Amino acid sequence: MGFLQLYFKEIYDLTLSMAPYLLLGFFIAGILKFGFKPGKLKHYLGGANLRSIFYASLLGVPMPLCSCGVIPTAVGLYRNGASKGASQSFLISTPQTGVDSIMITYSLLGLPFAIIRPVVAFITGIIGGMLTNVVEGEKPHKYANALEEELPKGWKKIPAIFKYAFVDFIDDIAKWLAIGILIAGLIAVMVPDDFFMNYLSNPYLSMLVMLVASIPLYVCATSSVPVAAALLMKGLSPGAAFVFLMAGPATNAATISVIAKTLGKKSLAVYLGTIILGAFTGGVILDQFLPASWFTGIMVQGHEHSILPAWLSIASGITLVVLIIYSLLRKMVSKYRGNDESSEFCEIPSPGSKTEHTLYIEGMTCQHCVANVKKGLSSLDGVSNVNVNLETKTARITGSPNMELVKDTIKQLGYEVKRTE
């Protein structure tokens, strides 16, 4: 069998294995998105105490946000009165896992990984939050321009859930998920089966290599799973794969810079130290204290066996591929035409003369960022229309607002205005 045939077979098998669980995770993500009132969340996360840290970490574990999407959410919590400890706890636990990544982890890596991953994320979130409160010693505060997102009510929640789950959320991860699958296929075909046995047989050395490789790079919690599965099948130790699963999604250069600017260098040190410690501790537990037989099936059999009927896996695989292709093509067409199909638009009646301002914003990386910027700018006096485009990283404002207040609002949301036209 030729290289391309082997490559596409690996991608085909991998996609069918993960698709049913991933689609279910998307749907649960939509339910989580519209199942909580923001005001109630702020109430539970507003104290500089262990209870708020516990709730923040517990909330973050199932939340389907990547390391880029969690930043504006956590900054929003902080700006609305949450302590640095609670915000830090949410920042740490959220990107390491999520309902979608838990589903796909169970599908490709088995039950032990699917259990240990959220448990470690939860514990590290609590530890990081407690350390932050000790280091910072800061009480919660509130900003006068706190924003609150209105959720749809009644039957209107149903289409909102499906749109978020299978359009907005997929828009955020489609590119990275596709890249993760393609990389996993390359690893499966190109890396010799005895590579890690010959060159990285020491589990602690392999953990260090995975850590160094994953910290500066961006990989979402979902797309990291197929890559980890492919590495496991090539002989990488379960502990080293776990380090990649936990450190990769939670850290990247952009996240590090934003945390340093928003929460401070002390909080950044706690953030990185907690994630590194948690990833290494979990890796050691997997390699040294859990039966090797729990992971042998993954490394030997790969993803050839499934408890689901074949028709369901095939139908789910086709659906997932169609959704990913649709998302990627829609973005490409939107960018080529220069329109705002991938943007958030809001119109507010406003009398008087209108002018248009275009702001180039640094830090917007997903639809959560777009929604935050749109909501914040729409609430300002003098703003009639707001159009935020993720592809061009711009916000077009029509009206006569105070531009200093506009820039300050964007800064408080965790972003930066590079220039204005």
Give pLDDT tens digits for 117-142: 999 999 999 999 999 888 876 554 44
For residue 312, give both structure tokens. Answer: 């369901």
How far apart (Å, rounded) are the C-alpha atoms in residues 187 and 33? 34
Higher pLDDT: 196 or 359? It is: 359
Q: What is the mean pLDDT of residues 184-210?
A: 77
Q: In the chain, what is the greatest distance between 2 CA atoms, to the nearest angstrom? A: 73
Q: Rounded to an integer, what distance in angstroms lies between the CA atom of residue 286 and that of residue 228?
A: 14
State the DSSP code for 304: -
CATH 3.30.70.100 spans which residues of the chain? 343-420
Residue 79 has pLDDT above 80, yes or no: no
How far is residue 237 CA from its own chain's centroid? 25
For 348-398, write each residue's pLDDT tens digit.
Answer: 444 444 578 888 888 776 777 787 788 888 888 888 888 888 778 888 888
Confidence band for 145, pLDDT divided at 50, 70 and 90: very low
In 251-302, which residue ranges form alpha helices assigned H by DSSP? 253-262, 265-288, 293-301
Quote the percentage of the chain above a pLDDT of 70: 75
**From CA 386, how far away is CA 389, in angstroms rounded?**
10
Q: What is the pLDDT of residue 318?
A: 94
Q: What is the pLDDT of residues 251-294, one digit of tens each?
A: 766 667 667 766 678 888 888 899 999 999 999 998 888 887 77
Distance, CA of 280 to chain centre:
21
- The phi, psi pair for 34, rounded to 5°, reads -110, 15
pLDDT value at residue 214: 77
Return the structure tokens found at 413: 């949301």
Give the tens place of pLDDT for each residue, 288-322: 888 877 776 554 444 444 556 888 889 999 999 99
- The pLDDT of residue 301: 42
Backbone angles phi and psi of 346, in degrees to 5: -140, 135
**In this predicted structure, what is the pLDDT of residue 90?**
87
Average predicted confidence (pLDDT) for the chain: 78
- Give Cβ neighbours of residue 372 (< 8 Å, ≥ 6 apart): 72, 73, 76, 147, 413, 414
Taking 90 as the threshold, does the pLDDT of residue 413 lie above it?
Answer: no
State the Cα–Cα distance between residues 242 and 279, nearest whole angstrom. Answer: 7
Pick the CATH number of 343-420 from 3.30.470.20, 3.30.70.100, 3.40.630.30, 1.10.287.130: 3.30.70.100
DSSP summary character for residue 156? G
Which residue reads 């299978």 in tokens? 166
Q: Give the pLDDT score at 187.
A: 77
DSSP string of 234-254, one letter each residue:
TT--HHHHHHHHHHHHH--HH
The answer to whether the Cα torsion of 167, 173, 177, 183 is positive or negative is positive
Tokens standing for residue 280: 């290494």
The one-letter amino acid code at 64 reads P
Average pLDDT of the residues in 327-351: 61
